[in-house]
Amino acid sequence: MSEQLRVAVVGAGPAGIYAADILSKTDLDVSIDLFERLPAPYGLVRYGVAPDHPRIKQIIVALYKVLQRGDIRLIGNVDYGTDLTLDDLREHYDAVIFSTGAIRDAELPIPGIDLPGSYGAADFVSWYDGHPDVPREWPLEAQKVAVLGNGNVALDVARILAKHVDDLMPTEIPANVEAGLRRNPVTDVHVFGRRGPAQVKFSPLELRELGHVPDVDIVVYPEDFDFDEGSEEAIRSSNQTKQVVKTLTDWTLRDPSELTASRRIHLHFLHRPAEILGTDRVTGIRTERTELVGDGTVRNTGRFEEFEVQAVYRAVGYFGSPLRDIPFDDVAGVIPNDGGRVLDDHGRHISGLYATGWIKRGPVGLIGHTKSDARETIENLVEDVESRGDAARTATVRDPEAILDKLASAGVPYTTWHGWEVLDAHERALGEAVGRERIKVVPREEMTDISRSALV
């Protein structure tokens, strides 16, 4: 009888948890360790979803049920490349699946993008979501702000900036985020998109919710509304696009005299960000008007407009980060792979190495795509293992406790699933004391100490 297959999954967000879950339900006799860089699991569902979207966070309930079963071992607060190397994983595991996601902001190469007052949306999201590895303070000093992008992250950033903090208090925002937002002097947030209303990537629900934020008006501009044949086809063929366009169009019909809120979110379409203005810091943004060309794409017109703003947030997408000793595509921001099989510089599969999630396919798609993506990777892993037989069992150290001993001897304060349950209960108790569901613990050391108290 073959020895039990030992597999490490690096990254405990949805992609990693789904991959581990699918693998655990195959016919393979397998032992799975799920490594996470942070002391808490769930990745961008915990640290990338706006706190006032609890419905999206219900994904955590499904992920919790997977890990709570106990057949997948969570090992948190372990940083691949620092606390464990590829050689370490090769020594203890027969296969390694990388599911580290994409957490960096994609670049936007325009003049002035590096001025003080210009920020990546991913960093801001990490701050308001209480990520332990970002500064506790955020410079909320601008009255007028530009947000670049026409996706849900852009809407999240605009909404959190414009929303009054008292309306966020039922959520899990940490105390430092509450304090920062209370000092926020913003009055106007301008959201710029390069294409037209039928090409935005907003979800209908997120967009409709934007129109119901207390004391925040949504301002749209009729001159930004244009629909070519490509736009009309998108509206006909997609119910989601139809709903989004209807919501946006309805806003153009409102009487301007009804716009009396103290804060405003301005939605601009057919504006290409061309330059961030300022010398020592951001003082404005210059955009170039674009026009639809018939198929839903746009071309530049050479007509420019300027807007006074004191801060700019780019929300033009996420980008993957390279991993030590693993091939990386610097253009696409992914690990080169074929169906999840990691490829070397010559396009050959590196035996025993796999990828799934955004680090595999790029930061596109929803949770459903993540599941199907993980399934493809696991199917290929199983095929490889079955075709190689005993030769697929390459780990030289097969005792499951050996990896924990190695971490402990190196002084790595790793955390466990039981430790997460202790931390989870602690955060819920903090919230319950003030009538909220949860208040996040932010400092990594405090998270780790609470979690590791379960080991005593």
**Residue range 297-343, pLDDT digits in tens:** 999 999 999 999 999 999 999 999 999 999 999 999 999 999 999 99
Residue 108 and residue 97 share a domain: no
Among the candidates 288, 318, 348, a domain finishes at 318
- For residue 430, tell me if it sits in a domain: no
Q: Distance (Å, rounded) from C-alpha 18 to C-alpha 12?
A: 9
Burial of 109 (0-12, 13-18, 19+ CB in 10 A): exposed
Looking at residue 212, which CATH number applies to its domain? 3.50.50.60
- For residue 332, tell me if it sits in a domain: yes
The predicted pLDDT at position 354 comes to: 98
Domain that holds residue 236: 104-318
Residue 366 and residue 312 share a domain: no
The predicted pLDDT at position 366 comes to: 67
Q: Which residues of the chain have pLDDT under 50?
A: 1
Backbone angles phi, psi at 265, to 5 degrees: -115, 120
Burial of 251 (0-12, 13-18, 19+ CB in 10 A): middle
Q: Distance (Å, rounded) from C-alpha 48 to C-alpha 37?
A: 15
The predicted pLDDT at position 55 comes to: 75
Quick one: which H or E segment has residue 264? strand 263-268
Specify the pTM.
0.94
**Residue range 9-27, pLDDT digits in tens:** 999 999 999 999 999 999 9
Q: Distance (Å, rounded) from C-alpha 121 to C-alpha 124?
A: 5
The predicted pLDDT at position 456 comes to: 61
Furthest C-alpha separation in the chain = 78
Looking at residue 338, which CATH number applies to its domain? 3.40.50.720
- For residue 437, tell me if it sits in a domain: no
Token pair 């699933």: residue? 417
Q: How far is CA 269 from CA 190, 195, 232, 235, in A?
A: 11, 6, 16, 17
The predicted pLDDT at position 368 comes to: 67
**Whether 357 contacts 375, CB under 8 Å:** no
**Token code pair at residue 132:** 């332990």
